[in-house]
Amino acid sequence: MNAVNIDKGYVDLSIPENVNIKDEINRLRKEKNAVILAHYYQSGDIQDIADFVGDSLALAQWASHTNADVLVLCGVHFMGETAKILCPDKKVLVPDLNAGCSLADSCNAADFETFIKDNPGYTVISYVNTSAAVKAFTDVVVTSTNARQIVESFPVDEKIIFGPDRNLGNYINSITGRNMKLWNGACHVHEQFSVEKIIKLKKEYPDALLLAHPECKNVILALADKIGSTAALLKFATQSDVSRFIVATESGILHEMQKQNPDKTFIPAPPNDSTCACNECNFMRLNTMEKLYNCLKYEQPEITVDVEIREKAVLPIQRMLDISAKLGL
Ligand code: 13P
Ligand code: SF4
């Protein structure tokens, strides 16, 4: 494989017009024994071509047992890193290395280490939306699918640090009665939903249920009919007898919600600023079909993780997967 320039964080080569991108992606993934894993926040065309679409727990679980030689992670950087930590011998590719996460960025590893040192005797629970370096300081990783159960697997008097999402941490404290010490981080997408506009929508559609991701502020969660991970919200909407939903999470999830429920109506929860598409994660949406094709073709950009960090970070991730398997999650 010839080296290509990825100075921009992705392979910036134009694709000839006569190339059918979908056909070529299908041919290349067979030829290379590659799988494409996509998060629900990816654009619809990427979700449709992926071998597997899921929430962050399911992506990690999939990565941990695939026989593929190459994994293309269509999501954000920490998802690619988690896959690489779980499969160090496989090639893990991402369409665009610039796809970061504001929540992961709100927790710098050196500052988090200081926070841990300032609170000796605490068990450290970290949300999966963190860098590998933060995971290396962590006792157990959680996602929004398993956070409650993993916190509850510790004795009630366990002293716990939870980072980096203050909204998820507050929510878990409220439903478990714990008093975890929280890192003060947040996601810029989930913090911008408008309470006033959601209340107005609920008045306009009194039959509609509000579905909210736990990364939303507690004023939004207080209004929600169902709080859960992307996978949990999708499952709830599919199993519900109700036919209209207001969805307070990144709007990419509406693609799969609509696909599985063609007769139901899904309304994206409005952001405070009505002039922006702020309920689209700008990081997630950096990935495109063109970048995916080039990434598979040139096997770049590749995720790498420092060996020493990987050896530490794999332990809390594996602990999460083991607990989740025991709990049937
Ligand atoms: P899920 O674990 O629910 O897929 O959430 C991932 C995420 O990044 C939420 O913003
Ligand atoms: Fe990170 Fe928020 Fe984007 Fe999720 S939606 S990947 S938490 S920035």
**Main-chain dihedrals φ then ψ at residue 75, nearest 5 degrees:** -175, -140
Residues 170 and 318 in one domain: yes
Q: How far apart are CA 124 and CA 283, in angstroms?
A: 27
198 occurs within a structural domain: yes
Q: Is the CB of 187 under 6 A from ligand 1?
A: yes
278 occurs within a structural domain: no
* Cα 16 to averaged position of ligand 1 atoms, centre (Å): 35
pLDDT digits (tens, 9 = 90+) for 236-275: 999 999 999 999 999 999 999 999 999 999 999 999 988 8
Atom 2, ligand 2: which residue's CA is nearest?
Answer: 187
Q: Is the CB of 215 under 6 A from ligand 1?
A: yes
Residues 92 and 75 in one domain: yes
Q: For the residues 168-191, what does the mean pLDDT come to?
A: 98
Residues 90 and 44 in one domain: yes
Q: Is pLDDT of 296 > 90?
A: yes
Identify the residue whose tokens are 């929508």: 201
Can you give the pTM of this predicted structure? 0.97
**pLDDT at residue number 254:** 98
274 occurs within a structural domain: no
Q: For the residues 10-27, what does the mean pLDDT come to?
A: 97
Residues 180 and 199 in one domain: no
Please choose from 77, 129, 256 the residue to mutate so as to test ligand 1's pocket, defined by most ligand atoms within 8 A of CB.
129
DSSP 17: T
Residues 143 and 200 in one domain: no
Residues 200 and 244 in one domain: yes
Q: Tell me whether strands 123-127 and 91-93 are parallel, antiparallel or unpaired.
A: unpaired
**pLDDT at residue number 89:** 96
* Cα 310 to averaged position of ligand 2 atoms, centre (Å): 22
**pLDDT at residue number 276:** 82
Q: Is pLDDT of 2 > 80?
A: no
**pLDDT at residue number 11:** 97
Q: How far apart are CA 66 and CA 89, in angstroms?
A: 12
> Contact 309/132 with Cβ under 8 angstroms?
yes
> Contact 210/269 with Cβ under 8 angstroms?
yes
The atom of ligand 2 lying closest to the CA of 250 is 5
Q: Is pLDDT of 190 > 80?
A: yes
Q: Is the CB of 288 under 6 A from ligand 1?
A: no
84 occurs within a structural domain: yes
Q: What is the CATH number of the domain that holds 70?
A: 3.40.50.10800
> Contact 159/178 with Cβ under 8 angstroms?
no
276 occurs within a structural domain: no
Residues 129 and 182 in one domain: yes
- Give start and end residues of each alpha helix (H) in 99-194: 102-105, 109-117, 132-135, 147-152, 166-176
247 occurs within a structural domain: yes
Q: Tell me how crowded residue 173 is: count the other CB atoms within 10 A of its CB.
A: 17
Q: Is the CB of 250 under 6 A from ligand 2?
A: yes
Residues 173 and 197 in one domain: no
Please choose from 39, 76, 131, 229 the residue to mutate so as to test ligand 2's pocket, defined by most ligand atoms within 8 A of CB.
76
Residue 302 three-state SS: strand
Residues 258 and 240 in one domain: yes
* Cα 215 to averaged position of ligand 2 atoms, centre (Å): 9
Domain that holds residue 128: 103-186+311-327
Q: How far apart are CA 23 and CA 271, in angstroms?
A: 37
**pLDDT at residue number 90:** 97
**pLDDT at residue number 3:** 78
Taking all residues of the chain, what is their mean pLDDT, rounded to a whole number? 97
Atom 9, ligand 1: which residue's CA is nearest?
Answer: 215
Residues 17 and 162 in one domain: no
Q: Is the peptide bond before 301 cis (omega within 30 degrees of 0)?
A: yes
Q: How many domains does the chain have?
A: 3
Residues 33 and 94 in one domain: yes
Q: Is pLDDT of 187 > 90?
A: yes
pLDDT digits (tens, 9 = 90+) for 127-159: 999 999 999 999 999 999 999 999 999 999 999
The b-or-e profile of 216-248 (16+ CB within 10 A means b, else e) is bbeebbebbeebbbbbbbbebbeebeeeebbbb
Q: Where are the beta strands (DSSP E) in 49-135?
A: 52-54, 70-74, 91-93, 123-127
Give helix 307-326 / helix 77-86 axis angle, nearest 10°: 90
Q: Tell me how crowded residue 322 is: count the other CB atoms within 10 A of its CB.
A: 11
Residue 252: closest CA among 235, 223, 230: 230
pLDDT band at 278 (very low <50, low <70, confident <90, very high): confident
What is the CA angle 26-63-39, rounded to 5?
A: 70
Least distant ligand from the CA of 253: 1
Q: Is the CB of 284 under 6 A from ligand 2?
A: yes
pLDDT digits (tens, 9 = 90+) for 63-118: 999 999 999 999 999 999 999 999 999 999 999 999 999 999 999 999 999 999 99
Residues 56 and 83 in one domain: yes
87 occurs within a structural domain: yes
Q: Is the CB of 129 under 6 A from ligand 1?
A: yes
